[in-house]
Amino acid sequence: MTGEPATAEPAPTGPAAAHPAAQGGHDLVVASLEPWDEVWRRNQHLLAGLLRADPALRVLLLEPPVDPLHDLRRGAPASAGRRLRAIGPDEGGAHGRLWALRPTKWLPRRVDPQGDARRARSVRAVARRLGMAAPLLWVNDPAAATLLEVTGWPALYDVTDDWLLASRSPRQAAMLRAHEQVLLARCAEVTVCSPALAATKGARRPVTLVPNGVDVTRYRARAGRPPTLPEGPCAVYVGTAHPDRMDVDLCVEVAARLTATGCGTLVLVGPVLLEGADVMRLERAGARLLGPRPSAQVPGYLQHADVLVVPHVVDDFTDSLDPLKMYEYLAVGRPVVSTPVAGFRDLTPSARVRVAERPGFTAAVVEALRSAPDGGPPTPGDLVPVPTWDQRVREMALVLSRVAATRGAPTRA
């Protein structure tokens, strides 16, 4: 793991400690790339579905670590990890069956080279205090390779991004390669979310393709217009504003053109992980950055967008993705303009989805805004079948059952 667990609260006693999952048959430790919060991503959708489907399942979610030194270097307030906490139904969890732990990484690895192993042993101790003697390990964060080595728990590696293709320093890239080598060699099962990942990771070992999905019923239930959505026509992007994915220069161009022509506003809905200078450029061009919004509010932003946009970088890294927003955009039936990124470029051509190369993207957004239908419930002809999270939960449950069946078997060489 990459972080030191904060001091844990006492583990449950009584019924929780005596839970039948304490024998290891229904315990799961998940090393996640995202925290459990109001902005739901793949892990939360899948885990919530698995918890509903299996009343005996218990989950310990390891959230991404807090790095106080990194916070200070980028000018943000220093923060620390969170104590072990229960996640109940009011947060989309399950009473007495889901816990989250947010570690803290106090020192860089070059200063504390044994920190990963020490922190992995601390996580193992927290799991034992929860009565998880022999859990399954679900790895989404590649840095959890150390936890796999320390514990030897039967493991699943769920690959959602090919971080080896992302822009990283030579030292970070070497560390990622080493972690992935361990995970691909030693995990009982490997799942991938996209055909591109199936090709690259599947060249080294067998993998199972489990793409993303959407809660179709919730996204098609009519929602009111969010009060923070600007008046007038809006081109809306829903997702994390991150330089690995978002083409910031293209977004600035789109925002400036919409402002200059008076035909609409570019609205970004989601966490903003951009440098301050890029945020200022976007705002000066006229873009509205609304920041993260609870998952329950997302359908309203999508349904009331005049056009949904995907101004993504097109490179090897984004080609490895299965964009969650593709399923969400298709579910609401609004017009879409996307750069030719994986997922969107593979859709059957239609009047509702336009894929535009970068030089013509801005003009395509302007044209789509000027010809967009009024907001309102999409007509039946606009709605296409979209894979659901319930389907993906069933697929992942089968994979986990195969991982559980390897308990006691020799670890993969």
Q: Residue 387 corresponds to which tokens in the numbers above?
A: 């894979």
DSSP label of 89? G
Q: Residue 91 corresponds to which tokens in the numbers above?
A: 């947060």
Q: Residue 43 corresponds to which tokens in the numbers above?
A: 């892990």
Residues 257 and 261: their CA atoms lie apart, in Å, by: 6
Q: List per-residue pLDDT tens for the chain, 413 residues long.
A: 433 333 333 344 333 443 333 334 589 999 999 999 999 999 999 999 999 999 999 999 999 887 655 554 655 555 666 789 999 999 999 999 999 998 876 566 666 667 688 888 889 999 999 999 999 999 999 999 999 999 999 999 999 998 888 878 888 889 889 999 999 999 999 999 999 999 999 999 999 999 999 999 999 999 999 999 999 999 999 999 999 999 999 999 999 999 999 999 999 999 999 999 999 999 999 999 999 999 999 999 999 999 999 999 999 999 999 999 999 999 999 999 999 999 999 998 787 899 999 999 999 999 999 998 765 555 545 678 999 999 999 999 999 999 999 986 655 54
Residue among 217, 261, 255, 212 at smallest CA distance from 235: 255
Q: Tokens 């969650």 label which residue?
A: 324
Burial of 95 (0-12, 13-18, 19+ CB in 10 A): exposed
Task: Quickly list H helices, 130-194.
Answer: 145-151, 170-186
Please say whether the beta carbons of 404 and 25 come within 8 A. yes
Query: Which amino acid belongs to residue 284?
Result: R
Task: Report if pTM > 0.95.
Answer: no
Residues 98 and 47: their CA atoms lie apart, in Å, by: 9
